[in-house]
Amino acid sequence: MPYKAEYIWIDGNQPTAKMRSKTKVIADGETPGIWGFDGSSTQQATGDNSDVVLNPVLVLPDPLRGGDHKLVMTETLLTDLTPHPSNTRAACAAASEKYASFDMWYGIEQEYTFFDGIKPLGWPDNGFPAPQGGYYCGVGADEVFGREVVEDHMDACIEAGIHISGINAEVMPGQWEFQIGPVGSPRAADELWLARWLLYRIAEDHGISATLDPKPIKGDWNGAGAHTNFSTKQMRESYQPCIDAAEALGTNVAEHIANYGDRIEERLTGEHETQRHDQYSYGESDRGASVRIPWQVVKDQKGYIEDRRPNANCDPYVVTRLIIETVCGAASK
């Protein structure tokens, strides 16, 4: 029996890329090879020279179709098989290779918001729900909206072999989080993109949508981030490298902020458990800092640190590349 391979890629939409996918039916015994698409429909080519190549980078079992069906995460290439300008994975893979001896791991907390039409899931048709306070990790139909989708998504990630490490309801009603990791790069970002695709796809079956908008509701409502926890081998062995990493991030603030997701200044206001986008700080257990050193890490005197700045709508290939370059670059000096 032939099987279905869902080829998934990242388009050229600016300032925030979107995910695209299409299905290839592949003969029994054959593996998913390179394929292509019409780049003129995805902001990746002009109509007169429209072919863009899809190169498989991670093939996993498809938990939705089951059987022998596959999910195929791809990167985009030009027809000469060099990276497409919109391909951010190639640079991430190169940096990961360069600093392979550090054995960097990432744990990314992806926050997102369910929408039912034009309002967050569970919100009243007119006005606002009760103010934030009881929703984070809440329980009960008056506080929690969309759990059945969250459960389906978590099961699907586990079945696919994605390293999902947990989920929780977030501070704003209708907002949730899942965590990927710890995994090395570029695989951490490959898995996060696939997990995002599964989220959109599963929500579609439930008749709702999921958005990575970093500030879906203006005002006194939390934004959505993608806190990125990371550790080198040295950080996992002793404390000083954890401090050194936090210091290193403080030397390259503007470049990180500029590449941590569109409209980051709307989310990093200094309110709602964030540091301002134009200030840098790190601290133990401090959720108002740019970078937090978790209490357990202080206690153990080794472990990892959390870069709290990336937006929910960030490109994890870019975020993980910048962290590895800044942190490992400084440690190599």
Q: In sequence order, what are the residues at sequence separation of 6 or more whose Cβ sits closer than 8 angstroms to the Cβ of residue 208?
A: 114, 115, 116, 121, 146, 149
107 forms part of the interface with ligand ADP (CB under 6 A): yes
CB of 136 to Mn ion, least distance (A): 8
Answer with the entry of Mn ion, ligand ADP, none that 3 interacts with (C-beta below 5 to 8 A by kind). Answer: none
Among 119, 236, 263, 276, binds ligand ADP (CB under 6 A): 236
Task: Scan residues 202-231 and list those touching ligand ADP (CB under 6 A).
Answer: 227, 229-231
227 forms part of the interface with Mn ion (CB under 5 A): yes
Answer with the entry of Mn ion, ligand ADP, none that 190 interacts with (C-beta below 5 to 8 A by kind). Answer: none
Number of residues interacting with ligand ADP: please give it, by CB under 6 A.
Answer: 16
74 beta partners: 56
The residue behind tokens 């001896």 is 101
Neighbour-count burial of 299, counting CB atoms closer than 10 A to its CB (0-12 exposed, 13-18 middle, 19+ buried):
exposed
309 forms part of the interface with ligand ADP (CB under 6 A): no
The answer to whether residues 224 and 212 touch, using CB atoms and an 8 Å cutoff, is yes
109 forms part of the interface with Mn ion (CB under 5 A): yes
Query: What distances in angstroms separate CA 250 from CA 58, 185, 246, 280, 323, one per listed residue?
Result: 33, 22, 7, 6, 11
SS3 call for 47: coil
Among 130-138, 176-184, 193-201, 209-217, which window interacts with Mn ion (CB under 5 A)?
176-184
Answer with the entry of Mn ion, ligand ADP, none that 223 interacts with (C-beta below 5 to 8 A by kind). Answer: none
CB of 3 to ligand ADP, least distance (A): 31
Which pair of tokens denotes residue 248?
């290193």
307 forms part of the interface with Mn ion (CB under 5 A): no
Whole-number Å distance between alpha carbons of 200 and 35: 23
Answer with the entry of ligand ADP, Mn ion, none that 181 interacts with (C-beta below 5 to 8 A by kind). Answer: ligand ADP
Nearest of 54, 90, 56 to residue 70 by alpha carbon: 56
Residues in the chain: 333
CA 126 to chain centre: 32
69 forms part of the interface with Mn ion (CB under 5 A): no
The answer to whether residues 158 and 104 touch, using CB atoms and an 8 Å cutoff, is no
Among 57-65, 106-114, 120-128, 273-281, which window interacts with ligand ADP (CB under 6 A)?
106-114
CB of 246 to ligand ADP, least distance (A): 14
Q: Which residues bind ligand ADP (CB under 6 A)?
A: 105-107, 109, 165, 179, 181-182, 227, 229-231, 236, 303-304, 306
Q: Which residues bind Mn ion (CB under 5 A)?
A: 109, 177, 227
